[in-house]
């Protein structure tokens, strides 16, 4: 590692601990975690830390400085450590009597002028093939000093930090899709927060809206400005409009979030508005905040508020390809290597492929048994393009060509299925035929069910594992609770940097998941009130009680054959109540595509924030939206089901319609289905 990199790391340690002593486990661990965050290779981390510790042991008497706090000489293990402490302002150089503190005067000497004094450090010389690294002040990692100079630094003055934060935010607000792809390919830390380019642009839009409101701009002008950005950005070279990542939906969500923050704290009470950037964090001193905050505001009374921003109530904890998202799910479970390997074998992507292979090889075998009928039906499709498009989609000819094959090709398809080498288009063609052709489905009702069943079983296996395996179950609970930031909002998260944390949803007029809502949701009235009355030293035990109660109320609910499960909060009562938080499901739409894994917040939550936990007390429009949304999902499942699964879905629909009073009816004028409220006596 370069000298600059070492000085940067030791400066960070000195700032946190004062005296640098890498033989202390706490400092050693802190250094290791910093280097992991910088995405350094493990072999380099081990080599670098070993070298620093060795320097500390060999030369511990050579480098001294005066502690401002104790007014005594302190030994450092290396020149870098001593100079870093001086530069951080916690120590003064030996012999600098003009700066030496006396009594209560700690001194504020110009430490930059003395940071390079002392002898060169000794110790092993890095091998010629070692990677030379430099680290910029924002925590970014680069291969060369030249590239480091090109990166933005943390400003030394508040106005510099503010400007860099605002400029960084605006750059992500106006990012084009082409620029976003290029940014994603760059290695190292980018200093622009996590999430997708779209969500970052939405967060930046909230940041922008708050700043413009502070400037006195009317909300309608701000909306026009943001919508203009969402329309695209002109490329001066090509003179063409390029699509930006900001969406109209996020513009509306951002404005609603900004409006909520202003109404909650008062515009005149907001002193600083920063994003989760290195300069923004430095400006209000929230570095290493350790929360899920997307942005921060600092109030005039000094309070620092972390804000998690949600575009609306449709929040996904996990959403994407199963292979990747399941890996992320396991990453969050804190499992041993052996346990992780076991779960991957049981529930991983390969287990799905094996299941699907069985379903398709058996399904094709059944289809071969009715090949004469299949050929008759394929001829009908060739003579009726409208029917073909209805059953196979606009690319129907591609699928018909796949199915119009000799007997030998069908037998080869069975072999391909067993070898897991069926193409996505082949699987789509076979499953579309098995699903949509009424004659084939009547003759072979279970073929499509089995093809689709591998997806359903993938969801079921996850939920069964959660019910049977305590370690897996507790890990999933942690992911669900982190998804709604329970501990951060309640203030029981171990974080001294933030005074408050809020989650704001960009629904109309904004909505907040408040401590009061969580207290009701988890029945914490007594425990939470007791916590507020305790001194700091006595809070740990009570916090542990609260954590235990929260986790004890989270359950996983699923029915055999159901396509998704629910993470819910259960109150034993009286009265006994259940509050659905998240749904978990795997999807492959259409069959042949790779499955996705979704863990999504239910619309119950965002409605409960505004109208209370009891659905019966919600406005009728909100109740209708919530219930009919569930019915729409069930009717979609019914269209995609047959046999026993279809009967089970029909039973669920009957129960839901009877419970809610809403029924689906066909409107002959619009030729579409609609949901109406049917009086109880009808």
pLDDT confidence of 72, banded at 50, 70, 90? low
pLDDT of residue 376 exceeding 90: yes
Please write the tens of the pLDDT for every residue from 20-52. 777 666 677 677 667 766 656 555 666 676 666
Note whether 341 and 440 are same-domain residues. Answer: yes
Model pLDDT, residue 150: 34
Last residue of a domain, one of 433, 452, 467: 467
pLDDT confidence of 188, banded at 50, 70, 90? low
The SS3 of residue 665 is: strand
- 8 Å CB contact between 90 and 97: no
Last residue of a domain, one of 449, 467, 485: 467
Note whether 168 and 122 are same-domain residues. Answer: no
Query: DSSP of 449-493, one letter per residue?
Result: HHHHHHHHHHHHHHHHHHHH-HHHHHHHHHHHHHHTTHHHHHT-S
CA 302 to chain centre: 29
Note whether 216 and 339 are same-domain residues. Answer: no
Question: In this structure, is residue 487 part of a structural domain?
Answer: no
pLDDT confidence of 335, banded at 50, 70, 90? confident
- 8 Å CB contact between 67 and 18: yes
d(CA 654, CA 677): 14
Least Cα distance to 631 among 613, 612, 605, 658 occurs for: 658
Model pLDDT, residue 257: 96
d(CA 378, CA 228): 50
d(CA 32, CA 25): 10
Note whether 166 and 114 are same-domain residues. Answer: no
Note whether 138 and 222 are same-domain residues. Answer: no
Question: In this structure, is residue 520 part of a structural domain?
Answer: no
Last residue of a domain, one of 234, 260, 282: 282
Please write the tens of the pLDDT for every residue from 82-137. 777 777 677 788 754 434 333 333 333 333 333 333 333 333 333 333 333 444 43
Note whether 394 and 323 are same-domain residues. Answer: yes
Question: In this structure, is residue 639 part of a structural domain?
Answer: yes
Of 89-93, 139-143, 270-274, the one with minimum mean pLDDT is 139-143
pLDDT of residue 247 exceeding 50: yes
The SS3 of residue 94 is: coil
Note whether 227 and 269 are same-domain residues. Answer: yes
Note whether 146 and 163 are same-domain residues. Answer: no
The conformational region for residue 654 under phi > 0 = left, psi -120 to 50 = alpha, else beta, is: alpha
d(CA 663, CA 678): 7
Model pLDDT, residue 121: 33
**Range with top average pLDDT, 202-216, 276-290, 403-417, 528-542:** 202-216
The conformational region for residue 193 under phi > 0 = left, psi -120 to 50 = alpha, else beta, is: left
Note whether 345 and 458 are same-domain residues. Answer: yes
Question: In this structure, is residue 83 part of a structural domain?
Answer: yes
Handedness of CA 203, 204, 206, 207 (dihedral sign): positive
Model pLDDT, residue 662: 92
- 8 Å CB contact between 194 and 283: no
Model pLDDT, residue 654: 92
**Average per-residue pLDDT for the chain:** 80
d(CA 469, CA 448): 31
- 8 Å CB contact between 323 and 594: yes
Question: In this structure, is residue 682 part of a structural domain?
Answer: yes
- 8 Å CB contact between 391 and 384: no
Share of the chain above pLDDT 70, in %: 78
Host domain of residue 28:
3-150
Angle of CA points 508, 513, 514, to nearest 5°: 125
CA 212 to chain centre: 28
Looking at per-residue confidence, does 142 or 514 come out higher?
A: 514
Q: Can you read off the two tokens belonging to residue 219?
A: 């909300």
Count the domains in the chain. Answer: 4
The SS3 of residue 291 is: coil
Looking at per-residue confidence, does 381 or 120 come out higher?
A: 381
d(CA 365, CA 333): 41
Q: What share of the chain is helix, strand, coil (3-state, %, to 5)?
A: 55, 15, 30
Q: Is 234 exposed, middle or buried (0-12, 13-18, 19+ CB in 10 A)?
A: exposed
Buried b (16+ CB within 10 A) or exposed e, 129-142: eeeebbbbbbbbbb
Please write the tens of the pLDDT for every residue from 210-239. 999 999 999 999 999 999 999 998 877 788
Share of the chain above pLDDT 90, in %: 33
pLDDT confidence of 7, banded at 50, 70, 90? low
What is the tally of helices (H) and strands (E) in the chain?
A: 29, 19
Instruction: Give the predicted TM-score (pTM) of the model.
Output: 0.67
Note whether 48 and 103 are same-domain residues. Answer: yes
What's the mean pLDDT in 547-574? 81
Neighbours of 654 (CB within 10 A): 12
What's the mean pLDDT in 290-298? 92
Note whether 178 and 251 are same-domain residues. Answer: yes
Please write the tens of the pLDDT for every residue from 592-635. 788 888 888 888 888 888 888 888 889 998 899 889 988 998 88
Question: In this structure, is residue 546 part of a structural domain?
Answer: no
Angle of CA points 244, 250, 256, to nearest 5°: 145
Please write the tens of the pLDDT for every residue from 443-501. 988 888 888 888 888 888 888 888 888 888 888 888 888 888 999 999 888 777 889 99
Note whether 118 and 145 are same-domain residues. Answer: yes
Looking at per-residue confidence, does 523 or 71 come out higher?
A: 523
Question: In this structure, is residue 638 part of a structural domain?
Answer: yes
Question: In this structure, is residue 660 part of a structural domain?
Answer: yes
């Amino acid at each position: 590692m370069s000298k600059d990199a070492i000085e940067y790391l030791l400066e960070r340690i000195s700032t946190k601990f004062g005296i640098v002593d890498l033989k202390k486990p706490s400092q050693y661990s802190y250094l290791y975690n910093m280097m992991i965050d910088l995405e350094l290779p493990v072999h380099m981390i081990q080599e670098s830390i070993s070298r620093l510790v060795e320097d500390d042991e060999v030369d511990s008497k050579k480098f001294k400085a005066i502690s401002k706090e104790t007014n005594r000489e302190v030994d450092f293990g290396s020149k870098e450590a001593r100079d870093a402490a001086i530069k951080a302002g916690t120590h003064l150089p030996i012999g600098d009597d003009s700066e030496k503190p006396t009594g209560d005067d700690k001194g504020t000497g110009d430490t930059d002028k003395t940071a390079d004094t002392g002898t060169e450090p000794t110790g092993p010389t890095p091998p010629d093939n070692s990677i030379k690294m430099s680290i910029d002040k924002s925590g970014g990692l680069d291969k060369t000093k030249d590239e480091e100079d090109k990166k933005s630094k943390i400003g030394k003055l508040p106005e510099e930090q503010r400007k860099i934060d605002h400029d960084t935010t605006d750059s992500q607000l106006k990012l084009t899709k082409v620029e976003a792809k290029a940014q994603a390919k760059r290695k190292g830390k980018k200093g622009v927060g996590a999430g997708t380019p779209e969500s970052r642009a939405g967060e930046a839009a909230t940041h922008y809206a708050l700043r413009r409101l502070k400037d006195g701009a009317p909300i309608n002008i701000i909306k026009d400005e943001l919508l203009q950005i969402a329309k695209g950005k002109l490329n001066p070279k090509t003179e063409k409009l390029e699509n930006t990542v900001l969406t109209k939906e996020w513009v509306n969500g951002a404005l609603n979030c900004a409006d909520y923050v202003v109404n909650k704290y008062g515009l005149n009470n907001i002193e600083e508005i920063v994003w989760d950037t290195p300069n923004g964090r430095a400006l209000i001193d929230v570095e290493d905040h350790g929360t899920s905050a997307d942005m921060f505001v600092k109030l005039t009374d000094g309070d620092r508020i972390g804000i998690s921003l949600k575009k609306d109530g449709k929040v996904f904890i996990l959403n994407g390809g199963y292979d990747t998202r399941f890996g992320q799910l396991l990453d969050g479970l804190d499992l041993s290597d052996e346990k992780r390997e076991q779960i991957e074998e049981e529930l991983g992507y390969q287990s799905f492929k094996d299941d699907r292979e069985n379903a398709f090889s058996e399904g094709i075998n059944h289809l071969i048994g009715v090949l004469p009928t299949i050929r008759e039906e394929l001829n009908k499709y060739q003579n009726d393009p409208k029917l073909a498009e209805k059953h196979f989609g606009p690319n129907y000819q591609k699928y018909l060509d796949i199915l119009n094959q000799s007997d030998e090709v069908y037998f080869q398809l069975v072999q391909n299925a067993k070898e897991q080498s069926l193409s996505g288009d082949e699987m789509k063609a076979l499953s579309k035929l098995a699903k949509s052709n009424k004659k084939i489905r009547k003759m072979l009702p279970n073929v499509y069910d089995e093809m689709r069943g591998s997806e359903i079983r993938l969801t079921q296996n996850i939920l069964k594992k959660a019910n049977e395996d305590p370690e897996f179950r507790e890990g999933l609970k942690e992911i669900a609770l982190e998804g709604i930031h329970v501990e951060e909002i309640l203030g029981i998260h171990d974080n001294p940097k933030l005074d408050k944390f809020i989650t704001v949803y960009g629904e109309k007029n904004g909505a907040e998941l408040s401590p009061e809502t969580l207290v009701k949701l988890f029945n914490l009235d007594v425990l939470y009130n007791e916590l507020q009355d305790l001194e700091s030293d006595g809070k740990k035990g009570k916090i542990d009680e609260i954590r235990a109660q929260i986790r004890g109320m989270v359950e996983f609910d699923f029915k055999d054959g159901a396509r998704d499960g629910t993470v819910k909060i259960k109150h034993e009562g009286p009265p006994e109540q259940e509050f659905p938080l998240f749904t978990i499901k795997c999807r492959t739409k259409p069959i042949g595509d790779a499955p996705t894994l979704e863990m999504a917040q239910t619309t119950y939550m965002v409605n409960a924030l505004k109208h209370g936990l009891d659905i019966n007390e919600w406005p009728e429009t909100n109740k209708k939206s919530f219930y009919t949304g569930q019915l729409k999902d069930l009717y979609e499942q019914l269209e995609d089901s047959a046999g026993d699964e279809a009967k089970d879905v029909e039973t669920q629909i009957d129960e839901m319609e009877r419970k809610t009073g809403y029924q689906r009816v066909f409107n002959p004028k619009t030729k579409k289905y609609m949901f109406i409220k049917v009086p109880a006596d009808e």
